Structure formats: C-alpha cells, structure tokens
C-alpha cells in the first residue's frame, strides 16, 4: 500500500515522502498514530500543491537573501573599543557585537549566528563573512578603532 508520511519515521522515510508499506503496518500503526495517510489521488494532488508552494517560498527567500547580500557586499562597519598597549583590546569584539553594529549602521537585520568570525582582540581592519542563507554569503569590512 502506498502511503504519504506526515512525520519523519526512522527506517521508513522522511516527512512528505511517498513510500510502500505493508497493509497491516499502515492500517494498524501508521494511520491510527497520525504518522501517514493513504496516497490517494486527492492526497497526492494536495501533496504536490504543497511541495510546489514550499519550493516557491524557498526561491523567494533565496532571492531576498541574494538582494541583501548584494546590498551589503563591500560595505564597512566602524566600531570603537578601548585598547591597551600594542592595540590589544580590553575584552573582545564578538559576532553579537558585529551584528548589532550592522543593524545600527547599515540598517540590515543580521542574526549573530550568521556572522562568521573568531573573536577579535586587536585593533585593525577585518574582513568578515556573513552567511545570509545556506547558499548565499557575502563579505564586509569591520574597522576597529580606539575610543
């Protein structure tokens, strides 16, 4: 019997997969627990429409991320921090600090998890990578100056 999985099931398949399951397994385990539904023409049509909508949404998200990446590419963010002898900072500049400055100076909302950097402990100019979407990334310059 062909069924459409409604949730990920270990050893069977992932959500929205169409798999062959034995009649007894489907009727006695999958259907009563709400883990699957029968792959009838109506249900297959609904699944195809849903997959198409998900694909369109993902394309729109990628397009928006690409637009943001183009806007941010090559921009510079200037940050000031207290420093001691030799340009060593008191404390450090983290991805959270950089994300906050990007939001403040460039008016772009970037999550701190999307800023790829080591903690910065010295004054200077750094090239930082922003992973805006899994396939979309860009680089910006971060200039750390003394207060």
Mind listing the pLDDT tens digit of every residue in the chain (147 residues)? 999 999 999 999 999 999 999 999 999 999 999 999 999 999 999 999 999 999 999 999 999 999 999 998 989 999 999 999 888 999 899 999 999 999 999 888 899 999 998 889 999 999 999 999 998 999 999 999 998
Task: Mark whether 126 and 72 lie in a shared domain.
Answer: yes
For residue 34, what is the DSSP state? T
> Cβ(94)–Cβ(119) under 8 Å?
yes
Position 119 scores a pLDDT of 87
| Domain hosting residue 125, numbered range | 68-146
How many structural domains compose the chain?
2
Which CATH number is 132's domain given?
Answer: 3.10.430.100
Is residue 98 a contact partner of residue 142, using CB atoms and an 8 Å limit? yes
pLDDT at position 144, please? 93
Across the beta sheet with 36-38, the strand order is 18-20, 2-5, 36-38
Pull the structure tokens for residue 105.
Answer: 């100076």
Q: How crowded is residue 4: how many other Cβ atoms within 10 Å of its Cβ? A: 20
Residue 86: the pLDDT is 87
**75/138 same-domain check:** yes
- The answer on 82 and 141 residing in a single domain is yes
- Token pair recorded at residue 29: 């385990």
Residues forming beta bridges with residue 18, ordered by sequence position: 4
Is the domain of 56 the same as that of 102? no
Q: Which of 60, 76, 91 is the last residue of a domain?
A: 60
> Residues 123, 98: one domain?
yes
Answer yes or no: do 73 and 138 share one domain. yes
Q: Please tell me the predicted confidence (pLDDT) of residue 74.
A: 87
Compute the distance between CA of residue 22 and CA of residue 31 in angstroms, rounded to an integer. 12
Q: Are residues 92 and 125 in the same domain?
A: yes
Q: Are residues 111 and 141 in the same domain?
A: yes
């Amino acid at each position: 019997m062909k069924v459409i999985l409604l949730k990920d099931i270990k050893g069977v398949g992932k959500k929205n997969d169409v798999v062959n399951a034995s009649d007894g397994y489907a009727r006695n385990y999958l259907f009563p627990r709400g883990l699957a539904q029968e792959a009838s023409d109506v249900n297959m049509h609904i699944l195809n429409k849903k997959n198409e909508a998900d694909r369109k949404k993902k394309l729109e998200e990628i397009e928006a991320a690409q637009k943001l990446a183009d806007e941010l590419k090559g921009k510079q963010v200037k940050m000031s921090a207290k420093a001691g002898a030799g340009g060593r900072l008191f404390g450090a500049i983290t991805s959270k600090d950089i994300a906050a400055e990007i939001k403040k100076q460039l008016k772009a909302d970037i999550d701190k998890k999307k800023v790829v950097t080591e903690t910065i402990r010295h004054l200077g100019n750094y090239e930082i990578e922003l992973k805006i979407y899994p396939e979309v990334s860009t680089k910006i310059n971060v200039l750390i100056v003394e207060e």
